[in-house]
C-alpha cells in the first residue's frame, strides 16, 4: 500500500460562498470518480485558495459530504504570484492505494486546465 497525492484544481466566477462550496464538491467528486476510492482510503485533503477567494472555507463543503466527516481537512492560501491564475481552488488528496504513480488521475477543471494542460486534456 502506498500513499499517493492526487492533485486537482478548479476556478470559480465569483468570490461568493455558494460558488466556492459547489466548485469544491464538483472537483472532489471528479477526483473520486477518476480514481475510484472511498473516504476511508483518504489520509487527508489539503485545500488551497487564491487570495481573492475569502467568502468561505472550501473544506466546509467536503465536511458536509456523506462519509467525509472524519477525513482530516486543512485550508490555506496559495502563494500570491504575480500573473497567477485568479479565483482558483486547489486540492491535494492524499490517498492510501495500491495504484502506481502512473495510474493516478489528476483533475483540472474550468479555467484551471491551463495549470496542467498535460494532465487535463486541454
The three cell numbers locating residue 24: 469544491
Domains annotated for the chain, with CATH where assigned, are 2-120 (3.30.1330.40)
| 60, 105, 113, 116: the active-site residue | 116
Is there a catalytic annotation at residue 87?
Answer: no
Candidate list 63, 69, 86, 103, residue with the active-site label: 63
Backbone angle region of 87, left / alpha / beta, with phi > 0 → left and psi within -120 to 50 → alpha: left
Could you tell me which residues come within 8 angstroms of residue 30 by beta carbon, excluding any fewer than 6 positions away? 8, 107, 109
Give 92's strand partners.
7, 46
Q: What is the pLDDT along the chain (122 residues), one digit of tens a residue?
A: 899 999 999 999 999 999 999 999 999 999 999 999 999 999 999 999 999 999 999 999 999 999 999 999 999 999 999 999 999 999 999 999 999 999 999 999 999 999 888 876 54
Q: Which one of the listed residues 60, 78, 105, 113 is annotated catalytic? A: 78
Q: pTM, whole model, 2 decimals?
A: 0.94
Look up 78 and say whether it is catalytic: yes
* Three-state secondary-structure class, residue 10: strand
Is position 2 annotated as part of the catalytic site? no
Amino acid at each position: 500500500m502506498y500513499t499517493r497525492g492526487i492533485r486537482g484544481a478548479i476556478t470559480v466566477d465569483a468570490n461568493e460562498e455558494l460558488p466556492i462550496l459547489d466548485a469544491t464538491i464538483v472537483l472532489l467528486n471528479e477526483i473520486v470518480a477518476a480514481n475510484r476510492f472511498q473516504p476511508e482510503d483518504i489520509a487527508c485533503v489539503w485545500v488551497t485558495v487564491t487570495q481573492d477567494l475569502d467568502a468561505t472555507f472550501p473544506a466546509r463543503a467536503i465536511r458536509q459530504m456523506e462519509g467525509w466527516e472524519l477525513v482530516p481537512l486543512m485550508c490555506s492560501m496559495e502563494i500570491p504570484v504575480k500573473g497567477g491564475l485568479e479565483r482558483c481552488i486547489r486540492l491535494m488528496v492524499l490517498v492510501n492505494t495500491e495504484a502506481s504513480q502512473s495510474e493516478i488521475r489528476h483533475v483540472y477543471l474550468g479555467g484551471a486546465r491551463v495549470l496542467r494542460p498535460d494532465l487535463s486534456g486541454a
